[in-house]
Structure 1
Amino acid sequence: MVLLDGWLVQKRVIWSLFLRELKTRFGKFRLGYLWALIDPLAQIGFFYLIFGFIMHRLMPEISFIVFLANGIFPFMLFSDIAARSVTAIEANQGLLSYRPVRPIDTLLSRTFLESLIILVTYAITMIFLHWMGEIFTLVRFLEVAMIFILVILFSFGLGCIFMVVGNAMPESQKLIPILLRPLYFMSGIMYSPSIVPQEYRWAIIWNPLIHAFELLRHYEVPSYQLIPEISLTYLVISSVVVLSVGLLVYKGREPAMMTS
């Protein structure tokens, strides 16, 4: 009974923080929630105009716009959760004086919000692309959902670490987002790793995100061939390890964050 009461309290806390984050994120913009769709579509359109013709010849088995959508959306899911976690405590500092509110609740609410935003906009975009005649399939819907869940778990685990670091060293709140930017170009968002010479693939293949994006593309367009280095097992292990480390780091630092 005590566990159930504790769960209900935490559920209400996270929901309240979620609504607060939602209002803070979109309330001040005139176009409101449309910005959640405009940002990824602008990136897709930009890269499609620049690289579309070349990539169509290099990857004839998959539409380049479908290729981009299955890189940009999951990367935004990762970056929004991980980067915004750095300031999760600072943005909700006043609320931590209330006993039921814990630092991890602020990260959970942000994770739920970012996941909801990206998944809804991704679904809208893919429906629109299908209506426009782009070819892909959702026969392996469960595998696609699993990849997104793994990206969320990986991002949340990394977010726990970033939240702790951001609280302990405030200057890192500026540094961490900068350090994340190279991943945009190292995650295979606008290119297939198959075009990278095999002797240089080690430089990008360590990145779990590139495994997630490539698997998404393969599940939606089975004719899209994966390079041998892409592994679902590696993605699963990476996500579980990063999540476990993140929770352990958070647990060890939680008392200090509550009193800071």
Structure 2
Amino acid sequence: MSESASPPYAKALTPASSQKRRFTTVRVIVALMLREISTQYGRTPGGFIWTIIQPLGMIMFLSLGFQLMLRQPALGTSFLLFYASGYLFFSLFNRLSNAVSRSIKFSSALLKFPVVTWGDSLFARFFVNALMGILTGILLLTWILLTVESQGPIDFAPVAVAIGLSLLLGLAVGTFNCALMGVFPIWAVVWDILTRPLMIASGVLYLYEGLPDIAQKVLWYNPLIHITALARTAFYSTYPAAFVNIWYVVYVSLVVLLVGLILMRKYALVILNN
């Protein structure tokens, strides 16, 4: 064989071919995102309005309920801001993990086409729900800050970091669960049972520092409690949240995401055929 001879698969590895493949992937993801938006928000009147009303209703329920039992929240004077500053970031994670974990089931019909991959479906759902979740949080926090008494200047850096951590952790847990639910459908029921008290364990309703030592030692390993506490430092300058470890959340998220991607790659055909 001469040196100029090329293997039969060389064409697939050329830069032009690789660029075309990336362009096709982007087009597929955008198309899946548009389908997701039309499905979730285009079939019912005021579809996006309900996306805002749901977390707002939960925040108001928590605020009114605890206001009847407590004289003031653990931080500041506004029950509405205290619970919103924790719940919205927890809700962003929860929304993403649930959406991503069901991405294969949601796009099962389209995944029969060779041009659509499980990765396209997974990231399309992630991007749509991330954008909608962030937009919902911005709108609700803006409204709350305009209606409650001034709590002092807001530090936007912790907000941005908390959003980023919520996105990363939501993608990681969603990918991991997508693989397990695809291989073991019963895992969806098990996960639902295990995570019912998750909001309570994530520091939405209280401050980590107010817990007994044994509870602090256990709950410290929950990445979400680091995220909600970090988010609160943005709105309450007197709250240090010294226990927060950003890198712990990053490491846990990356490990879970890596394991989830490995499982998805290995069992993709099994999941698609279930």
TM-score (norm 1): 0.90
Secondary structure of the equivalent of 2:206?
Answer: coil
1:184 aligns with 2:204: no
The DSSP-based 3-state class of the residue aligned with 1:28 is coil
Equivalent in the alignment of 1:254: 268
2:213 paired residue among 198, 209, 212: 198
Q: Deviations over 1:195-237 (max 9, x none)?
A: 21123212322100010010011123211232x4322222222
Higher-Rg member (1/2): 2
Match of 1:75 in 2: 90
Equivalent residue, structure 2, for 1:154: 169
Contact 1:55 1:64 in 2 (8 A): no
Q: Give runs of aligned pairs for residues 191-230 of structure 1, distance below 5 A.
A: 191-226=206-241, 228-230=242-244
Task: Read off the aligned partner of 1:229 and give its amino acid letter.
Answer: F
Paired residues in the alignment total 259
For 1:252, the aligned partner's letter is K
Asked if the contact 1:61–1:223 (Cα under 8 Å) also holds between the matched residues in 2, the reply is: no
Give yes or no for contact 2:173–2:253 (8 Å, CA) kept in 1: no
Structure 2 gap segments, 5+ residues each: 1-15
Q: Which moved more, 1:32-41 or 1:110-119?
A: 110-119
Structure 1 residues 153 and 185: alpha-carbon distance in aligned structure 2, compared to 1, 3 A threshold: same
Task: Indicate if the aligned counterparts of 1:88 and 1:163 stay in contact, CA closer than 8 A.
Answer: yes
**Equivalents in 1 of 2:18, 2:235: separation in Å?**
41
Separation in structure 2 between the aligned mates of residue 221 and residue 149 of structure 1, nearest angstrom: 20
Distance across 1 between alignment mates of 2:19 and 2:263: 26
d(CA) in 1 for partners of 2:226, 2:80:
19
8 Å contact from structure 1 (residues 86, 166) kept in 2: yes
Q: Counterpart of 1:101 in structure 2: which amino acid? A: V
Q: Compute the TM-score of the two structures, normalised by the length of structure 2.
A: 0.85
Measured in 2, the distance between the counterparts of 1:224 and 1:142 equals 15
Change (3 A) 1:107 1:210: same
Q: Quick check: 1:83–1:177 contact (8 Å CA) kept in 2? A: no
User: Structure 1 residues 147 and 138, CA, compared in 2 at 3 Å: closer, same or farther?
Assistant: farther
For residues 190 and 35 of structure 2, the distance between their equivalents in structure 1, rounded to whole angstroms, comes to 26
Does structure 1 retain, via aligned residues, the 8 Å contact 2:104–2:272? no
Distance 2:199 2:246 in 1: 20
Distance in structure 2 (CA, Å) of the matches to 1:89 and 1:149: 24
Q: Once structures 1 and 2 are overlaid, which stretch shifts more, 82-91 or 201-210?
A: 82-91
Q: Per-residue deviation at 1:255?
A: 4.3
Look up the equivalent residue of 1:155 and give its one-letter code: G
The Cα shift of 1:172 comes to 2.6
Give every structure 1 segment of 4 or more consecutive aligned residues whose post-TM-superposition deviation is greater than 4 Å: 53-56, 136-139
Among 103, 107, 132, which residue is 2:147 paired with? 132
Determine the C-alpha separation between the residues in 2 that align with 1:129 and 1:159.
29
Superposed, 1:1-260 pairs within 5 Å as 1-52=16-67, 57=72, 59-61=74-76, 63-136=78-151, 140-226=155-241, 228-258=242-272
In the alignment, structure 1 segments of 5+ residues that lack a partner are none
Q: Which moved more, 1:84-93 or 1:111-120?
A: 84-93
Structure 1 position 24, deviation (Å): 1.6
